[in-house]
Each structure stands twice: as C-alpha cells, then as structure tokens.
Structure 1
Amino acid sequence: MRVSKLAFVYFLLVFSAGFALAFIRIPFLVPVFGVRIAELIEMPVMLAVIVWASRRLVHRNPTLTRFERLSVGLVALALLVAAELAVALFLGARSPGQYVASRDPVSGSVYLVSLVFFAVAPALWSTRPRPGNSSKPTPLGGSA
C-alpha cells in the first residue's frame, strides 16, 4: 500500500509538470521550432522535475529500501504510460498504436530514455546523508 501511494504521488508530480509544460510547448514552441525541437527543448525541464521529485520522495521516506524505491518508480511508470495513452485517446482521438507511431523518431527516442530514467530515478538516490549535510540524499549511494 505504501509503495502504491508513493508511486501515485511521484507520478502525479511528474505528470502534472509535463501536462502544464504542454501548455507552453504546444502553442508557443511548436509553431516556432517544430514538434521535434520543441519536445527536445522541454526535455531538460522534465528531467529536472524527475530528479527533484525522486529526490524528494527519497528524502521524505528514508526507510524505503532500494527495492521499494525501484518498485515506486516502476508503478509510477505504469501510471504515467497509462495516463499518456488515455490523454492521447481522449484528446487526440487516437488509439495507443496510432499515438506511439505518431511520435517523432528522435524526440520519441529521447522520451523513451527519459521514461527509463523516471522509473529508476527513485532507486538511484541514497538515503544516507552527505557528510556535513544531513538533509540531501546522494546519487547512486556514493558520497558527494
């Protein structure tokens, strides 16, 4: 139950940021740069949101094991993919297959890599405090 609740919160933070950014990307960036470049411009912001949300999750739940954090990421990934396909179906009237086929090959590939990062990011952070700073998790369990 705890993993599913945390996964939902993690999903919600990242999905809502992406949904909000779409209101900037679609009307302002796509007409100027095209879909590919607009999506690639948005990607660093989304990666920063993923880092922030995953570190926040680890910081607020220091007793989670690495396996539990990975489980949170995988459940959140399933929620994210389901939400993306649902939005494509309801807003774009496209089937999941049509939606996937319509993705730009370059920005779509970068997006797939970001999905993998989204899934594993909670497991990348250590719950051990950094020396001299007890409030921030460290990446990959190492020291700063």
Structure 2
Amino acid sequence: MRVLKAGLIYFLIVFGTGFALAFVRIPFLVPRFGVCMAELLEMPVMLAVIVWASRRLVRRHPELSRSSRLIAGIVAFALLVSAELAVAYFMSNRTPGQYVASRDPVSGGVYLASLLIFAVAPALWNRRSVPDNSSTLTLRRDAV
C-alpha cells in the first residue's frame, strides 16, 4: 500500500506542475514560439520537477527498496499517461491514437524520453545520496 501511495503522490506532484505550466505555455509561449518550441522550453522545468519529486519520494519513504520505488514510478507513469489521454479526450475530443499522432515528432520524442525518466527516476537514487533536509535550518537561540 505504501508503494501505491508513494506513486500516487509522485504522480500528483509532477502532473500538477505540468498542468499548472500549461497555463503559461499555451497562452504565452505557444503564440510566440510555436507548439514544438514551447514544449521544449517547458521540458527542463519538468525534468527538474521530476528530479525533485523522485528524490522527495526516496527521502519520505526510506523503507522502500529500489524495486519498490521502481514500482511506484511505474504506477505514477501509468497514472500520468492515463491522465494525459483523459485530458486530451475530454478537452479536445481526441482518441488516444489521434492524440499520439498529433504530437510533434521532436517535442513528442523528448516528451517520451521524459516519461521514461519519470518512470525510473525513483529507483535511480541511492538512499544515501538523498540528504534529509529536515534539520538543515535549525537555529540555536544563542546564535541569533
């Protein structure tokens, strides 16, 4: 159950960020740069969010093994792809095949690579390489 919860939270963080960024990308970047370039400009931000969220998953769930974290990433991946296809269907009335066919070959390929990174990222981190930041900003009274 912890694996499913970790995957769900990981998905919500990344999908929520992508959904929020769409409110910047679509009205401001697409008219100025086009769909392909706008998506490519958004990608470094999304990759940074994936890195942050996957490291957060490892830090918040130290009890999960590497294989359990991979399962959490796959769960999040399945949720993300399902959500993307649902949004495409309900917002644009496009079938999954139409949605995939409508993707730009360049930005779509980069997006596919980022999806694969998203799926495996939680399993890539070594627990020892992800510091626990909960005690980084503790001040002593006499230091102030």
Whole-angstrom distance in 2 between the partners of 1:23 and 1:116: 24
> How much does 1:129 deviate?
5.0
Aligned alpha-carbon RMSD (Å): 1.1
Partner of 1:22: 22
Partner residue in 1 for 2:41 = 41
Of the two, which has the highest radius of gyration? Answer: 2
* Unpaired stretches in structure 1, ≥5 consecutive residues: 137-144
**Which whole-Å CA distance do the structure 1 matches of 2:5 and 2:89 have between them?**
26
Cα distance per residue 1:28-72 (max 9 Å; x no partner): 000000000000000000000000000001011111100000000
Number of equivalences: 133
Report the equivalent of 1:135.
132
More strand by share: 1
Provide the C-alpha distance between the structure 1 equivalents of 2:81 and 2:118, rounded to a whole number of angstroms: 11
Structure 2 unaligned runs (5+)?
134-144
Q: Give, in whole Å, the separation in 2 of the partners of 1:77 and 1:56.
A: 16
Question: Which one has a larger percent helix, Structure 1 or Structure 2?
Answer: 2
User: Runs (4+) of structure 1 moved beyond 6 Å?
Assistant: none
| TM-score between both structures, scaled by the size of structure 1 | 0.90
Greater RCO, 1 or 2 (C-alpha within 8 Å, sep 6+): 2
- Output aligned runs, 1:66-105, within 5 Å: 66-105=66-105
For residues 115 and 16 of structure 1, the distance between their equivalents in structure 2, rounded to whole angstroms, comes to 15
